Amino acid sequence: MSLAGYGKIIRPMNAGVSGVTAGIAYFIAGGTQPLFSVLLFFIVLVICGAGNVLNDYFDLEIDKVNRPDRPIPSGKVSPKGAVVWAALLFAAGIIAACFTNVWCLGIALINVVILIIYAAKFKGIPFLGNLSVAYLSGSIFLFGGFLVGPESFLVMLPLFAITFFGTLARELLKDAEDIEGDRLGGARTLPMQLGVRKTAFLAVIFVLCAVLFSFVPFLTWGVVYLVLIGVVDAFILLVTLRSLKFETPKELTASNCTTYLKYGMFAALFVFLLMEILAVFL
């Protein structure tokens, strides 16, 4: 057991980006208090981190095949220690959410329940698990925006939709990469039923949905946004279309399509932040 293992198991980069996204959403919705963005960052960081811990706890047998270097299968964190750590993180996030408003607290509570059920049950149900992750990723924009007030819902809805469909596409491709390990671990995923190529086709459809929704903020941010997001959209679409070439999980993994897709989604987040900064200073 090691303290480093307890830090690594929350996947700090993943959880940290989610926290930053919530802060960005707050400012996009019209928020002006930096301390509120810090509070949102902390809440999302610890709740996402707790969800990652639970995922690793329930995925122990699968990770022995797919990710043997992760903290639990490698022995750096015990299964019991992981459960206690997740409970503490969830508690910290909920307590902190009590200092926001009823809308944010409600989303935080709903997401905690979904994270727990997802890790224990939904992840093993084809497509339902992917939908859960996509909702949780998109809801970060709603969470950050609702600290400003419920009137921010229409502002945040396109960003929720972009993130929802982009994440859904990436999750399906990630499952396609992990077919062999999931099969050995007893999991059931949609790519196990469809195969790699049909899953990639479905991912392309969802990416196209994300691209269509990405044009909606043009009504607020104008031509500069349209040009920048157009470049990002083209990259994301080309990466996803490339996944159609592969028939086996190993080929898809070697292509790094899911990694490039993640970079594309980060780039889209940067565009959102840049446009909000320009809107403030210009």
In 3D, which of 42, 270, 29 has the Cα closest to residue 141? Answer: 29
Domain count, the chain: 1
Report the candidate in 164, 168, 117 with the shortest Cα–Cα distance to residue 141. 164
Tell me 90's DSSP state.
Answer: H
Average pLDDT over the chain reads 91
First-to-last C-alpha distance (Å) of the chain: 52
Q: How far is CA 72 from the centre of its chain?
A: 22
Q: Which domain holds residue 246?
A: 3-281
Out of 21-25, 63-67, 149-153, 272-276, pick the least confident.
63-67
- Give the pLDDT band of residue 1 (cuts 50, 70, 90): low
pLDDT band at 59; cut points 50, 70, 90: confident
Interatomic CA distance for residues 205 and 6, integer angstroms: 38
248: Cβ contacts below 8 Å, ≥ 6 apart: 196
Band of residue 5 on the pLDDT scale cut at 50, 70, 90: confident
Q: How do residues 148-177 score in pLDDT, each as one tens digit? A: 988 888 889 999 999 999 999 999 999 999
- The pLDDT score that the predictor gives to residue 60 is 82
Residues whose CB is less than 8 angstroms from the CB of residue 65 and which lie 6 or more positions away in sequence, other chains included: 180, 181, 184, 185
CATH of the domain at 41: 1.10.357.140
Radius of gyration for the chain, computed over Cα atoms and rounded to the nearest angstrom: 19
Q: How confident is the model at residue 181 (pLDDT cuts 50, 70, 90)?
A: confident
Query: What's the rounded Cα separation, in Å, for the pair 215 and 211?
Result: 7
Q: Which of 93-102, 148-157, 262-271 has the lowest mean pLDDT?
A: 148-157
Distance separating alpha carbons of residues 49 and 46, to the nearest angstrom: 5
Residue 186, SS3 per DSSP: coil
For residue 15, give the nearest of 40, 44, 37, 53 by alpha carbon: 44
Please write the tens of the pLDDT for every residue from 76-90.
899 999 999 999 999
| Phi-psi region at 202: left, alpha or beta (left = phi > 0; alpha = psi -120 to 50) | alpha
